[in-house]
Structure formats: C-alpha cells, structure tokens
Amino acid sequence: MLKNLAITVLVSGLAALALSACADTLNENQTLDAPRLSAQLDREHSIADGVGGLELTGESTELTLSATELVNAKVLYARVAYDPAALHFAAGETAAERLEDGMVLCIDRPDQGVVEVGWLLPRFGEREGVSGTQELCRLRFAAGASEVTKQVLRGPDGVYNHIDSSLSGDLTEDDYPQLTWVERLVADGSNDGQVTVSDYTQIGQQFGATPAATGDADKQARDADYNRDGEVGVSDITVISQQLDVTLGGYAIMTGESAGSLTELVRFDRVAMFPTAPTTIDGELRWTWTGSTELAEDTRFWVHAYDRDGALSAYPSDYGVLIEAANPTFTPTEVLAINVPSGLPTDGDGNYIVLLSEWSVDDIDGNAEPFAPESLQLTATVEIVEDPGNTYEDSEHLVWYVSDGGGLAKVGNAEGGDPSDLKGLLTFVNRGRIEVTAQIPGNFTKTQTAGFVLLSIQDLALSSGGGSGPIAANDGDDVQFAIEGTFDWDGLDNGNEVVQDLTSWCNWTATPTPDTATYAIDTFAGVLDTTGAGGAELVVRCEYPRTANVTLYDNQRRVSNAVVVNVN
C-alpha cells in the first residue's frame, strides 16, 4: 500500500505543491465571476481516451478543480488562471486517501498569473485509467497581490546537465571535425529541451522503477530518476520544481589537454541546432556539431553547456574526445625523385651500391649462415593535385616495379600483408644491377627510375699500415686500421668483383690480454689508442655491417679477420 503524502517546495519565487489525489479529465475555459478564476485543459500533454471538461466549484477563493466525462484518463494537465494583482496562491489540498489512486503536482506561476496542475496515476502504463468524474485537487487563494520574483536564468551544472560517454567524434568526408552527444538535462523527461510541468508524466510512467535494475538501455527509467537516487519516486517531483523553466542556450565547443585547461573554440546555439523545436532520435535529444575547416592536427574536444544568458555551467563533459587529423589526400601528378635510405654510396654511373651481408668464402669468422633475403624501404618525392607547387614523400599511392632482368629482386605493391609486399619495399636475394621504377597509376609517362648495384661479400681484409700483423706499437701510439671488402656481382670467378673500403662501415672492437690493460678504440674510424696498454697484446676485429641502410632479416653480424698488436 502506497502512503499518502504532500510535499511543498519553494524555489526562486516559485511555490510548488505535490499532493496525492484522485482526479478526472479536464475541459476548456470555465470561469467563476468572482474573483475572476478560470481553468483550461492542456490537451497536448494529457493522456486520456476522452475528456468532457473542467469544473471549478466552490465559494470565494476556496475552490475544487474537477475533470468530467473522463474515458480511461491516465495523465491530465491544466492551468488555473487568477489575477495576481488581487490574489495569491495559498495552498492546495487533496481528498485522496491513497497515493496509488493518483498524484497531483501544483506549481504557482505568479509572474504568469496561473497555477499549473498535473495529475497522473502511478505506473499508469500498467493499469486502467479513470473514467467518469474525478476531483483533481482543492486550491486555496488569499486576498492580496502575489509577490512576483523573476526567476534567474542559470546554466544547468553538475547533475543538472550531464554529458557522459555519449560524446563521440569523427571526421567528415571533407576532413572537418564532427562531434555528437546526447543532452541529458535533468528533469527534462520528455527530451524537448526544457523542464516543464509535463515532465511529471515520466515520473508516473516509471514510478517505483530502479534504473540500476532496468539497465542502461532503459532510457525512460534513467530520465525519470531526476534526483539520481536510484529509484523513481515522489522525491523526483522536487527536482521538477527546482529545474522548472531551465533550458540551455547551447554548448561551447572547447579544446585542450584536460578539463582544467580548456580554450573555447566556438559556441553552438540551440537555435542553430534546432531552428523550430528540438526533435528526438530514438527517444534521445542528440546534438551534432560540425567544424567549418579541415582539422589540421590531432585535437581533443570537450563540450561545455551555457545558459540563455550565455553563462557557462560549472562542468564540461565528463570526457574529452580525441579526433585524429586525416593524412593529406594524395592524387600524385608528378614523380620527382626516388628517395633511398641515407648513407648508400654510389658508383661512377650514379647507381646506389648496396653491400649485402652474405659472402661465399669459409676463412672469415662467422660464415655459417645460409643466404638470407634483404630489403630497402624506398619512397618517392611527388607533387599532388590538392597542393600544387609543394612536394611530399610518398610510397603508398604509386606503382613500383623492377625492370626486366632484375632476377630475384622485387618491389611490393600490395596493401598490408607480409613485409615483403609493402609498397616501396625493395627485397632482393640476387647480385647484380637492377633498376627500380616509381610510376603514377595509369600514366606510364610519369615515372622516375633509380639504379642499384647489389653486391654480396666475397672477402674481408683487415690490415694496419698495409700489413695483417702481428704488428708492434709503443705505449701511447695511435694505430690506424683499415678494412676492405671484396664484393661479387654474380657469384662467379669472372672478374666481376668490386673492392670497397669498409673502414667507416664497421663496428670496431679490441680484446686485451691481460684484460686489465687500458686502451681506447674509435668505434667508427678504426683508430686504436694504446695508452696504458704497455706489455699487453691487443686483438683488433671489425664487425660488419655497422650501417643501418640494409635490413638483415637474419639479424646477424659478420666478424672480420683479427690483427694482433703487441704493445711495448
């Protein structure tokens, strides 16, 4: 059994009385001659199969508001007009003994000279409505002018306007930032953008429900729990009174790294979003803001409500949303050059020399690895339609291929997949000269070509002063080492060998005996400083390759022959 109770709330000069009562439907204007009181039915928000009319009965200022000729009435709204210059609203009473027989909300609007009345059956969606005649409430007025206090327009903040994880962002086809979010203005159960007496309906519909039990998808239950205490009940009526007439001016779009350091970007007014009246989508009041320019860089956006006077609320959205800027849309019009990794030497014909890490002789330390494919990542400098005159580095929007006769070399053109299929990735297992071409799709005249000489190592020769040691040095001497590599074009002993100085391509090391001896070696230049190594033996080696211009899929380094230095 639900208990009978009454609640009176005073907020910003508005007197609100919540009563339990039985009631019937409402009719159009009916006036008592003195003191000029009338009642009018709000048919738009009332829920009934039929309503005959309203009746105001009583003597002087003690009045009873009743609805007549009701058919299955579940929710009724009316306005009782009075002269605020002569009267003021004093109290409301109900004859109902049980809350389940009906609840009444009366809100005095002295600035408008009306008392707004709402009557409904708790859980009206699950039960039959009232038919016949029903007393809605008893109203008492007193002589003397009403005290009219202008309600202060305020920005709903805290629990009064909550933007939660519904905030999301994306880029439009034109690369403009776009944000969407759901307005959750507390006590606006109808989602029409304003808190009014008619939001009483959602309380009646969900009365007794616990939103936590119904789940997040049950939006009506979540909206009707206006005070967010986990249950829809009489106490939620108070929030309607507190929030009466609250509406938003709009939202400020903010940017920044956190909620505590925001810069206002632009204001998005309610009238701009809803020129006529707010409209819901699937029962939600959803906002969508689209920026007016392309997003140039990754940006975090926040949304901040403001009231009809333009004052920002105390809190922005719970979360900022990061929108990533799109990469420029490439429509290449000209290929200007093929770009290769830095550090590759060239021969006299302008071919890039690629020194492979494999060799075919057995007298070099560490030569136990099978031959492994290697690769170079190539890009090209291009011009694009969207930004003529400027150049960009690109590989994904071009067609790549190796000229005929390239053997086992290829350049990937497929999207994704194995690394050897990536666009611009040159893979090879062969020796010799190849030509790589970058072409604009569909246009065989818009190309650039680069030549490469692929050489596998045949021999490594480490020496100092032209000799392979052992050599003698005095404590404190600087000993210069050099290393040369013999590289083969085709794996045949036919004179197609190239000797290349590798001194700056190696990672130099030295091992002292005894290990307490001090020394220093330039890792990149091959210069051994023997200071502190008197009486010791130093064994010098070079690990090849040091350079990063070739990707070794087996990730192994090859060690050169050793040169012994005896220090006096």
Q: Cα-flanking dihedrals φ and ψ of residue 126, to 5°?
A: -105, 5
Identify whether residues 265 and 408 lie together within a single domain. Answer: no
Give the per-residue pLDDT at 60: 72
Per the structure, the count of domains in the chain is 4
Give the CA-trace dihedral at 489, 492, 493, 497, to 10 degrees.
Answer: 0
DSSP state of 153: P
More confident residue, 230 or 370: 230
Please write the tens of the pLDDT for every residue from 143-186. Answer: 888 887 544 434 444 444 556 667 899 999 888 999 998 887 77
Give the per-residue pLDDT at 543: 78
Q: How far apart, in whole angstroms, are the C-alpha atoms of residue 36 and residue 65? A: 15
Identify whether residues 166 and 283 lie together within a single domain. Answer: yes
Write the Ramachandran bin of 113: left for phi over 0, alpha for psi from -120 to 50, otherwise beta.
left
Nearest C-alpha neighbor of 507 from the set 493, 484, 523, 530: 523
Mean pLDDT of the chain: 78
Show Cβ contacts of residue 52 under 8 Å, excluding neighbours closer than 6 positions: 25, 27, 67, 68, 69, 70
Say which CATH number the domain at 294 has. 2.60.40.10
Of 219, 245, 271, the last residue of a domain is 245
Please write the tens of the pLDDT for every residue from 25-79. Answer: 334 444 444 457 889 999 989 999 999 999 988 877 888 999 999 999 999 999 9
Q: Is the pLDDT confidence value at 215 over 50? A: no
More confident residue, 322 or 158: 322
Q: How many CB atoms lie within 10 A of CB 400?
A: 21
Give the per-residue pLDDT at 180: 92
Identify whether residues 378 and 489 lie together within a single domain. Answer: no
- Tokens 């009631």 -> residue: 23
Give the CA-trace dihedral at 77, 80, 84, 87, to 10 degrees.
Answer: -130
Of 403, 430, 454, the last residue of a domain is 454
Please write the tens of the pLDDT for every residue from 470-500. Answer: 999 999 999 999 988 877 665 566 676 778 7
Are the C-beta atoms of residues 233 and 258 closer than 8 Å to each other? Answer: no
Q: How many CB atoms lie within 10 A of CB 128?
A: 9
Element (H, E) at 222: helix 219-224
Nearest C-alpha neighbor of 253 from the set 219, 218, 223, 293: 293
Element (H, E) at 379: strand 379-384
Identify whether residues 441 and 460 lie together within a single domain. Answer: no
**Strand pairing partners for 118?**
77, 105
Domain that holds residue 122: 1-151+188-245
Sign of the four-CA dihedral 133, 137, 143, 148: negative
Of 433, 454, 475, the last residue of a domain is 454
- Tokens 């007393």 -> residue: 135
* 154, 228, 306 from 314: Cα distances, Å: 11, 19, 9
Give the per-residue pLDDT at 21: 32
Show Cβ contacts of residue 149 under 8 Å, excluding neighbours closer than 6 positions: 12, 13, 110, 111
Please write the tens of the pLDDT for every residue from 491-535. Answer: 566 676 778 788 877 788 899 999 999 999 998 889 999 999 999
Identify whether residues 460 and 550 lie together within a single domain. Answer: yes
Give the per-residue pLDDT at 35: 55
Q: Is the pLDDT confidence value at 414 over 60? A: no
Q: Which two tokens stand for residue 342?
A: 């830095």
Q: How far apart, in whole angstroms, are the C-alpha atoms of residue 406 and residue 427? A: 11
Q: How far apart, in whole angstroms, are the C-alpha atoms of residue 229 and residue 232? A: 8
Identify whether residues 239 and 317 lie together within a single domain. Answer: no
Nearest C-alpha neighbor of 317 from the set 255, 267, 366: 255
Identify whether residues 77 and 101 lie together within a single domain. Answer: yes
Give the per-residue pLDDT at 218: 45
Identify whether residues 314 and 449 lie together within a single domain. Answer: no
What are the helix (H) ranges across 226-300?
A: 235-243, 270-273
- Give me the DSSP letters along 10-52: EETTEEEEEEE-------S-EEETTTTEEEEE-TTT-B-SB--
Identify whether residues 107 and 221 lie together within a single domain. Answer: yes
Please write the tens of the pLDDT for every residue from 184-195. Answer: 777 888 888 888
Q: How far apart, in whole angstroms, are the C-alpha atoms of residue 473 and residue 529? A: 10
Give the per-residue pLDDT at 155: 40
Give the per-residue pLDDT at 375: 78
This prediction's pTM: 0.49
Per cent of the chain over pLDDT 90 is: 24
**pLDDT band for position 467 (cuts 50, 70, 90):** confident
Identify whether residues 99 and 16 lie together within a single domain. Answer: yes
Identify whether residues 236 and 164 lie together within a single domain. Answer: no
Say which CATH number the domain at 533 has. 2.60.40
Identify whether residues 344 and 411 lie together within a single domain. Answer: yes
Q: How far apart, in whole angstroms, are the C-alpha atoms of residue 140 and residue 91? A: 5
Nearest C-alpha neighbor of 550 from the set 339, 342, 337, 338: 342
Give the per-residue pLDDT at 159: 42
Are the C-beta atoms of residues 368 and 401 closer than 8 Å to each other? Answer: no
**Strand pairing partners for 542?**
508
Mean of the pLDDT values across residues 449-465?
83
Q: Which two tokens stand for residue 353?
A: 């020399």
